[in-house]
Amino acid sequence: METAIKFKTVEEYFSTLPAGTQCILEEVRKTIKRAAPDAKEMISYNMPAFKLNGVLIYYAAYKKHIGFYPTASPIVAFKEELPAYKFSKAAIQFPVDKPIPVDLITRIVQFRVREDMEKAGKQ
């Protein structure tokens, strides 16, 4: 979603989206919350994000896809499961006209939580 608005809250971000996109993004949001229940929601780089010690995941809505930004290491770790999606070094695009891969998102977020805790020395 390209916009000049500077969002202060995740709810404010969601409020600017069409209803159908809000539903899809809410599914992504709930999936991340279940996989990382201690993570705090925030806006970072003007998009929703979840943070523990550091930012775990960013996500955002676009016209034809949901951008999911788990950083680079999960892209490498889950590369074999990503061919169905457009992806780059640190991002995955989930098309809005296909079911959201809840299981894949859950496992990527859990991977990021483990990484975050190890990096913070709180294993």
For 12-81, what is the HEC assignment? Answer: HHHHCCCHHHHHHHHHHHHHHHHHCCCCEEEEECCEEEEECCCEEEEEEECCCEEEEECCHHHHHHCHHH
The pLDDT value recorded for residue 123 is 54
Q: What backbone phi and psi angles, to 5 degrees, belong to 27?
A: -65, -40
The pLDDT value recorded for residue 14 is 95
Residue 35 has pLDDT above 90, yes or no: yes
What mean pLDDT is predicted for residues 55-74?
95
The pLDDT value recorded for residue 1 is 47
Residue 90 contacts residue 71 (beta carbons within 8 Å)? yes
pTM: 0.91
Dihedral of alpha carbons 65, 66, 72, 78, sign: negative
The pLDDT value recorded for residue 3 is 53
The pLDDT value recorded for residue 121 is 85
The pLDDT value recorded for residue 122 is 65
Mean pLDDT for all residues in the chain: 93
The pLDDT value recorded for residue 120 is 85
Can you list the domains of the chain with their CATH numbers?
A: 10-119 (3.90.1150.200)
Residues 13 and 48: their CA atoms lie apart, in Å, by: 7
- Tell me: the pLDDT tens digits for 36-57? 999 999 999 999 999 999 999 9
Residues 36 and 88: their CA atoms lie apart, in Å, by: 23
Residue 31: partners with Cβ closer than 8 Å, 6 or more residues away: 100, 102, 105, 106, 109
Considering only CA atoms, give the Rg of the chain. 14
The pLDDT value recorded for residue 97 is 93
